[in-house]
Amino acid sequence: MIRIATRNIVRFFILVLFQVLVMDNIQLGGYLNPYFYILFILLLPFETPRWVLLVGGFMLGLSIDLFTNTLGMHTAATVLIAFIRPWILKTFAPRDGYEPETFPRIYYYGFNWFAIYTLILTFIHHMALFYIEVFNFQDFLSTFLRVVLSTVLTSATIILSQYFIFRK
């Protein structure tokens, strides 16, 4: 248990630094923004208590907000996906439930399960983040295009990380 907690704390700091130092400097045409840091919430163990998810989401979003000077936008979006994550996991649970001592990864549950899980939570995160940033529905279609394109880029990056970084 302590080993899992330590691994997640280290992952938290690595993902925040990677997002701030590398991924925030990637912006393709103003529409593609990869937000790799949400991988922290996606990879937390299934048994993670809801309050830990919410506090972790808050701390993650607050860390990104402090580095990017975005005044709570990332915090709101990450707390939202931390709040919705247990419901999404319950909705897409295998018939027999999740195996004990497993994690939400491609290795354990396959590409299709992980891709759907990642796409849904990433889409929710990006919808919240980009519409909070714009804070109106006047440019709904251009903002929605930005949400969709960034969701695809972020999800592809997260799925590729499963093959290159988080191998068994």
Q: What is the per-residue pLDDT across 53-112, written as a single tens digit (0 to 9) for each?
A: 999 999 999 999 999 998 899 999 999 999 999 999 999 888 888 887 778 888 888 899
The CATH number of the domain holding residue 122 is 1.10.1760
Contact 41, 78 (CB under 8 A): yes
The number of distinct structural domains making up the chain is 1
Q: Domain of residue 100: give its range.
A: 2-164
For residue range 79-96, list pLDDT tens digits in order: 999 999 999 999 988 888
Q: Answer yes or no: are the C-beta atoms of 36 and 23 closer than 8 Å.
A: yes
State pTM to two decimals. 0.92
CA distance 86 to 44: 11
Residues 6+ apart with CB under 8 A from 122: 35, 38, 151, 154, 155, 158
Q: Sign (positive/negative) of CA torsion 135, 137, 142, 144?
A: positive
